[in-house]
Amino acid sequence: MDKQTVRDIDVAGKRVFLRVDYNVQFAGDEILDDHRLKESLPTLQYLIERGAKVVACSHRGRPGGQVVEELRNAPVAAHLSKLLGQDVKSLTDCVGPEVEAAVAAMQPGEVVLLENVRFYAQEEANDPQFAKQLAALGDVFVSDAFGTAHRAHASVVGVGYYLPAVSGLLMERELNYLGRIATNGDRPLGLVLGGAKVADKIAILKNLVDRAAVVCVGGGIANTFLKAQGIDVGASLVENDRIEDALDIMRLAAMRDDLRLVMPTDVVIADAGGEHVATVSVHRIPPGFRILDLGRQTVEDFREALRPMKTVVWNGPVGFFEREPFDRGSLEVAKILADMVGATTVVGGGETAAAVSRAGVQDRISHVSTGGGASLEMLQGINLPGVEILRDRA
């Protein structure tokens, strides 16, 4: 996927409308995870060093087209100022005369952050007039918001109809890693699939299964696979309408000598109140108990199966990651990938990236994607509208 990047255009003295993904959460004045902000720094620094006037645009949360005080971008601008080492001015709107005046007064190398673009319902509707108003703030459009590239929104796609559109350095890296996996990549390829929704992972499997040598299944989706095998999973979360899909994958694996499907053999379970926790065989789950994590033997099975892989993609936590002690399986999988010296390891966004961060191995993973939904769709072989709008290099 060869798209033009910010390196292919002249930005000196120009107003750059930079779409970033700063959809982050705060606890009071403290940001909970600034990974997305840090990942945007190379593009910002590139533009600043070349004298661009950077008009950054992002959303936060889902305000539904209304102003929500807790979702303003001012605290994001304050934290970005610290990371960048220079002042990032927070504007109180994203369109209108006051915003236009503030942008007109900018000097080369300055950065402003527009207010939450989703305070306008026209953003998610990809309203052409709203997109035109946003585009009026720039001379060129640089998209560095891979996390929203699967959304056909005004600031993601619409602006690209009015301005020359190229990728930022983060977007370029995301497309290089995920695009290589989605098309070919170094083999053998291993997949670690978790999370709760079978439908999402089935789509990834169908797109990549011809190239995969190992598929390790954990998280909520493993419950559906186990039930499809006739195993009583107690009160565990199961998508009964996806059991046939799970059976299809297992039949495919059984037919292929070069595809290994690794399922949980032992699991961590708990009762409804979470008072009684135990590790048991998948064949010994008592009534009323739920599967909430992988057991130690299953983690070792994953480790052994993945060891020969040259490329590994992990999407979705393999347990109830939000609560201890059910985060241990996900933390161990993060360490397994980190220990794979010489292999290309790619982690999908969201909770999976959080597991890598909490395990303290982020710098030992080849690429941690900033886009959960976007990486999911790209691995499914779906064209992303926020990528399609960018200029092709050729």
Give the residue from 144, 206, 256, 149 showing the smallest Cα distance to 379: 206
Q: At what angle do helices 219-228 and 198-208 cross, to 10 degrees?
A: 80
Instruction: Tell me the one-letter amino acid at 338.
Output: A
H/E stretch holding 214 reads: strand 212-217
Catalytic-role residue among 197, 256, 358, 364:
197
User: Going by DSSP bridges, is the β-strand pair 53-57/111-113 parallel, antiparallel, or unpaired?
Assistant: parallel
Contact predicate 118/65, CB 8 Å? yes
Catalytic-role residue among 51, 109, 179, 373:
373
Catalytic-role residue among 14, 15, 36, 290:
36
Q: Is 36 a catalytic residue?
A: yes
Please give the structure tokens belonging to residue 38.
């840090």
Strand 344-347: give its sheet, edge to edge.
Answer: 260-262, 212-217, 189-193, 311-315, 344-347, 367-368
Q: Is 373 a catalytic residue?
A: yes
Beta partners for residue 314, in sequence order: 192, 347
Catalytic-role residue among 160, 349, 350, 371:
350
Q: Is 197 a catalytic residue?
A: yes
Give the residue from 345, 335, 338 showing the smallest Cα distance to 309: 345
SS3 209: coil
Q: Active-site residues: which are they?
A: 36, 197, 350, 373
